[in-house]
Structure 1
Amino acid sequence: MTGLNYPEEGGTRRTPLPPGYHHLHEELPIGHGPAVLAAAGEAITTFRMHRAAGTRIRSDAPRAAPGVGVEVSLGVGPFRLRAPCTVVWTVAEEDRIGFGYGARKGHPECGEEAFVAELRHDGSVWFTVTAFSRPAKAVTRLAGPLVPVFQRQYVRHLGRTLRRLANS
Structure 2
Amino acid sequence: MSYPESLHGTSEDLLIGNAKASKGWQITDRKLVLGYGEECFQIAVQQLFSWKAHQYAGITVTQTNTTVELKFWSIRSYCRVLKSHQGSRRAILIYGTLEKHVERGEEAFEITMADNDQVTAHIVAFSKPAKWWAKLANPVVRWVQLRITDKYLEGLKS
Q: TM-score, normalised by structure 2?
A: 0.88
| Percentage of pairs with the same residue | 25
Encode CA deviations 1:101-147: one digit per residue, 9 max, x unaligned.
00000111110011121112322111111100011111210112233
1:126 and 1:115 map into 2 onto residues whose CA distance is 11
Unpaired runs of 5+ residues, structure 1, are 62-67
Unpaired runs of 5+ residues, structure 2, are none
Contact 1:27 1:127 in 2 (8 A): yes
| Matching residue's letter, 1:153 | R
| Corresponding position of 2:89 | 95
Contact 1:30 1:163 in 2 (8 A): yes
Contact 2:91 2:110 in 1 (8 A): yes
| Matching residue's letter, 1:16 | A
Contact 2:53 2:154 in 1 (8 A): no
Provide the alpha-carbon RMSD of the alignment: 1.4
Q: 1:123 aligns with which of 104, 109, 117?
A: 117
| Matching residue's letter, 1:74 | F
1:25 and 1:131 map into 2 onto residues whose CA distance is 7
2:153 and 2:90 map into 1 onto residues whose CA distance is 16
Displaced runs of 4 or more, over 3 A: none
2:145 counterpart of 1:151: yes
Give 1:86 shift.
0.3
| Corresponding position of 1:49 | 53
Q: TM-score, normalised by structure 1?
A: 0.83
| Corresponding position of 1:11 | 10
1:100 and 1:112 map into 2 onto residues whose CA distance is 7
